[in-house]
Structure 1
Amino acid sequence: MNIYTLIIWLYFTIFIIDAAPITSKSNSISLKKIAPKHSLKEVHQFYKDYFILKYQNIHVTDQDKLASDKKILSGSENLTISDILGYYGEITLGSQEFKMVFDLGSSDLWVPSQDCTQDSCVSHKRFNESLSKTFNSTGTPFSVAYGAGSVTGITGKDNVLVGGLKSEGQEFGLVQEEVGSLFQEAEYDGIFGMGFNDLSSIGTPTPFSNMVEQKAVTNPYFGIYLQRSNDTGHTGTLTLGDIDTTKFTGNLNYNNVSTLHREYLYWILDVDDISINGNKLNFKNKLATFDTGANIILMPEEDAATYHKFINGSSLNEYGIYTVPCNTMDQVAYIIGGVSYNIDQSDLVTESDCSSSVQAGSIGDDNMWLIGDAFLRNVYSVYNIKNFTIGLAPVSK
């Protein structure tokens, strides 16, 4: 088994997310996520390699910086297998229901086509053009390349219904061929990208962008709430065009999203610093990509080492994995936009093997972090595609 096959296998067995019923609020969808169950070494290997593939286009060399002034970074080369990570729920596409991943780190909508006869397609719901009276074929070829395979097909247009809200005439991808068994074991059918339009491999506005332009939603933002694990597993709520004020305390603090190669692609924020037990770590010029598909926080090796120097009882084991006491009581806060966001002690340690929720791993240069659920469970986050901001507020206890 090669490393990329192992990564995909680990994802399917660790991070598969269970669809939950749509809530009574018409513009909200309930989400559920199964907690990781595999060994510390396996989980760390997954994160170390998988997210390097996901965000490979963030890494910028000096030559890339020179070229970025002349060439827009886009296209299928820049997307990776990471697009399949995230929380999922049901949508209706052309009167047919699909389980879709809602991914902050990608911007395309695609599903398997009825023309795809491979096992990885047949084992999932496939789009049947003949069953939709509103479908129109555009026939434009598209391809999305991954670290361990790729999907190709043609585009079409149809109506998309999410939580009672419609995107009319949405262009989406109809997968006709999958190279590599990337999705054969997945419990969902396709991807619902929620990044910015310029990240789209197909080259079309995202479904949420269309909802905004078509005034299907009142506001150009969506809110995400991720509940801490309970008896039924991790749950969450995605609210389109609105803010669920019952999920947070105080006021939302808005922060400007940073560009990448002068474009808005990912949900990236500046991070001021981290405070541990009242001690600031003096991090400078750090950027963080927000990703609901990551359970932990990834930092370059030097930053991760600095962080763990202040965590009582932390250690680095023979696998290069940081561990912390399972009952750690350290007080950790991330400072963003001048505001401190406290991290619950239960989010300082993962649910398997008492590994730290902060691990070493690079997704770009030495200033780029990946911020996952270990932080996001402690805040209510609002993503505005027009003002290019992320609003944050502490979650209600």
Structure 2
Amino acid sequence: MNKYTLIIWLYFTIFFIDSAPITSKSNSISLKKITTKLLLKEGLQFYKDHHMLKYQSIFVTDQARLISAKKRSENLTRSNVIGYYGEITVGNQAFRTLFDLGSSDLWIPSQNCTQHPCSIHRRFNERLSKTFRPINISYSVKYGAGSVYGTLGQDNVLVGEIESVGQIFGLAWKEEGSFFETQEFDGIFGMGFNNLSSIKTPTTFSNMVEQKAVKDPCFGIYLERSDDAGHRGSLTLGGIDKTKFTGNLNYNNVSKFNGNYSVWIIDVDDISINGHKLNFKTKKAIFDTGNDLILMPDKDAKIYHKFINGSSFNNGTYFVPCRTTDLVAYIIGGISYNIDQSDLVTGSYCYSSVQPAGDGDTWTFGDPFLRNVYSVYNIKNYSIGLAPVSKTA
């Protein structure tokens, strides 16, 4: 091989290596839904209390209500929470983690945790990973109805075929509350912004972006419709799955709190019911895959149900006709997103999927909204993209 042939060979080799599409790696994983083991009425209150406790640092100031919510949660033994989990690999060891939009930390149980919640889940064995590095710093992460404590570690984390090298994560030595005892998942994979991290480290997905393991700084979430067979979904890292939606993605700016980006929250224009706009103003909505309801302040839920034909209110809970025919759409960024009528009602007792949860101007969009859209979360542009979900997905 002469020098000119060598130069040409090197040029093409470097070019094709550098331009090789990152998306050739599998960047999508399947998600499975966790369903509550509580009675439905207990479950409704649990979702409200869990939401209040989970976001107390951002929204809630009424300490008396917080104390009441915590007591109720503590009295619910062997409880389960709604959410979606998938399989990841940490140091060549497989774990099921709940992908949580409302938190920003990754943790899994440690082999050194001897509590019952840990013993019935997969636990990380430091000696089985050649790439693990211990970090002798303690941490704690609090969730709505439970907490975890332990020490930090560092290892490679794989989601599908996308890797975060040297990811700092929590090894749980202790879990408090019945919240984790019967869960189908082993740990939690936070998908919020870095500023929300309790262990003060970049999120796993943020590291994937910085390490250029993914093409784009966004992830997409698809959740099956409520009337589909089974409750599953998919998470796509570093891109979008165009088979899951129709039309174009419309992007909406995420709002800051105390000068920082923390949770996925955007402005909502209004709600339309049977063609009648409710004239809501200055409303915001948190996107949370960990809730099976749409939660609104008491006054907003009351206005909403005035326009739902046949709705009723009893003991803090709204009911709607089991086969409601109302046409409901949420208007965001000037675009209307229709809610399938099956998502206006939940459970055999026909509870409304919209329930009251305190004061203020902030709503929470759980599954009844998220099942109707394909949502894309961009951590660099600080935006959420939405498109109607494909009926054939």
TM class by shorter-chain length? Answer: 0.7 to 0.9
Q: Is the 1:142–1:154 contact (alpha carbons within 8 Å) kept by the matching residues of 2?
A: yes
Give the secondary-structure state (helix, strand or coil) at the position aligned to 1:48. Answer: helix
Report 1:76-155 matches (<5 A): 85-146=82-143, 148-155=145-152
Q: Is the 1:300–1:361 contact (alpha carbons within 8 Å) kept by the matching residues of 2?
A: yes
Q: Partner of 2:368 in structure 1?
A: 374
The structure-2 alpha-carbon separation of the partners of 1:121 and 1:296, relative to structure 1 and needing over 3 Å to count, comes to same
Q: Partner of 2:65 in structure 1?
A: none
Q: Is the 1:120–1:182 contact (alpha carbons within 8 Å) kept by the matching residues of 2?
A: no
Distance, in Å, in 2 between the alignment partners of 1:254 and 1:327 is 33
Q: Partner of 1:6 in structure 2?
A: none
Q: Partner of 2:242 in structure 1?
A: 245
The structure-2 alpha-carbon separation of the partners of 1:277 and 1:57, relative to structure 1 and needing over 3 Å to count, comes to same
Q: Partner of 2:43 in structure 1?
A: 43
Q: Partner of 1:212 in structure 2?
A: 209
Q: Is the 1:39–1:353 contact (alpha carbons within 8 Å) kept by the matching residues of 2?
A: no
Q: Partner of 2:17 in structure 1?
A: none
* TM-score normalised to structure 2 length: 0.86
Q: Is the 2:273–2:329 contact (alpha carbons within 8 Å) kept by the matching residues of 1?
A: yes
Q: Partner of 2:11 in structure 1?
A: none
Report 1:171-210 matches (<5 A): 171-210=168-207
Q: Partner of 1:355 in structure 2?
A: 351
Give the secondary-structure state (helix, strand or coil) at the position aligned to 2:209. Answer: helix
Verify: 1:303 aligned to 2:278, yes or no: no
AA aligned opposite 1:392: L
The structure-2 alpha-carbon separation of the partners of 1:36 and 1:129, relative to structure 1 and needing over 3 Å to count, comes to closer
AA aligned opposite 1:350: T
Q: Is the 1:89–1:100 contact (alpha carbons within 8 Å) kept by the matching residues of 2?
A: yes
The structure-2 alpha-carbon separation of the partners of 1:35 and 1:100, relative to structure 1 and needing over 3 Å to count, comes to closer
**How far has the Cα of 1:35 moved from its partner?**
5.1
Deviations 1:237-269 (A, max 9, x none): 110011111111111000000011111000001
Q: Structure 1: state its 5+ residue gaps.
A: 1-23, 63-79
Deviations 1:363-390 (A, max 9, x none): xx51111111101111100000000000
The structure-2 alpha-carbon separation of the partners of 1:367 and 1:276, relative to structure 1 and needing over 3 Å to count, comes to same
Distance, in Å, in 2 between the alignment partners of 1:136 and 1:95 is 14
Q: Is the 1:288–1:368 contact (alpha carbons within 8 Å) kept by the matching residues of 2?
A: yes
Larger Rg: 2
Superposition CA RMSD, Å: 2.2
The structure-2 alpha-carbon separation of the partners of 1:25 and 1:234, relative to structure 1 and needing over 3 Å to count, comes to farther
Distance, in Å, in 2 between the alignment partners of 1:356 and 1:375 is 13
Percent pairwise identity: 69
Q: Is the 2:34–2:83 contact (alpha carbons within 8 Å) kept by the matching residues of 1?
A: no
**How far has the Cα of 1:145 moved from its partner?**
3.1
Deviations 1:33-85 (A, max 9, x none): 255575442222112212111111122669xxxxxxxxxxxxxxxxx999975
**How far has the Cα of 1:232 moved from its partner?**
3.8
The structure-2 alpha-carbon separation of the partners of 1:49 and 1:354, relative to structure 1 and needing over 3 Å to count, comes to same
Selected match of 1:234 from 231, 234, 239:
231
Selected match of 2:272 from 275, 288, 291:
275
The structure-2 alpha-carbon separation of the partners of 1:60 and 1:181, relative to structure 1 and needing over 3 Å to count, comes to closer
The structure-2 alpha-carbon separation of the partners of 1:396 and 1:280, relative to structure 1 and needing over 3 Å to count, comes to same
Q: Structure 2: state its 5+ residue gaps.
A: 1-23, 63-72
**How far has the Cα of 1:178 moved from its partner?**
2.2
**How far has the Cα of 1:352 moved from its partner?**
3.2
